A = this chain, B = another copy of it.
Amino acid sequence: MDSSPKQRTTRQRTAILAALGHESDFRSAQQLHEQMRASGESVGLATVYRNLQSLAESGQVDVLVTDEGESIYRQCEDDTHHHHLVCRVCGRTVEFQAPEMEEWTRRIASQHGFADVHHTMEIFGLCPDHADQAS
């Protein structure tokens, strides 16, 4: 029941958060790791995984699972419940909230007697800059 496990401020953890930065796109652990190495950071891949995992648990980053089953991460601007609109080509992401939808979800669930529900909902599409790109 301890909701604040002590997390140490290590060089690697800091670097990972910095690398996530405020880019508005989702990246996989592997991409992030590569990106960090490219910019001279020395970090182990396992460490990137471990940190992303703990950061996700503590709600500091957002996780999405792609259709291929790969987990992708992003530092979120908003710490409340929200969804994403992601560009299939460049990864550009827009966060949005959908109170009506939350409401809707709860209604559907209780209609069928389901309790303690949570939902996933993400939108993928082509952003203005890539609107003409083939699917």
What is the CB-to-nearest-CB distance from A101 to chain B, in angstroms, rounded to a whole number?
A: 6
Query: In the assembled complex, which residues on chain B have CB atoms less than 8 Å from the CB atom of A98?
Result: 104, 108
Q: Flag whether A70 is at the interface (Cβ < 8 A).
A: yes
Q: A103-114 toward B: CB 8 Å interface, digit per residue (1/0)? A: 011001100111
A59 within 8 A of B: no
Does A127 interact with chain B (Cβ within 8 Å)? yes
User: How many copies of the polypeptide does the oligomer hold?
Assistant: 2
- Residue of chain B at shortest CB distance from A87: B114
21 contacts between A and B (CB under 8 A): A65-B65, A65-B69, A69-B69, A85-B108, A85-B114, A85-B117, A101-B104, A113-B128, A113-B131, A114-B123, A114-B127, A115-B126, A115-B131, A116-B131, A116-B135, A117-B126, A118-B125, A119-B121, A119-B124, A120-B121, A121-B122
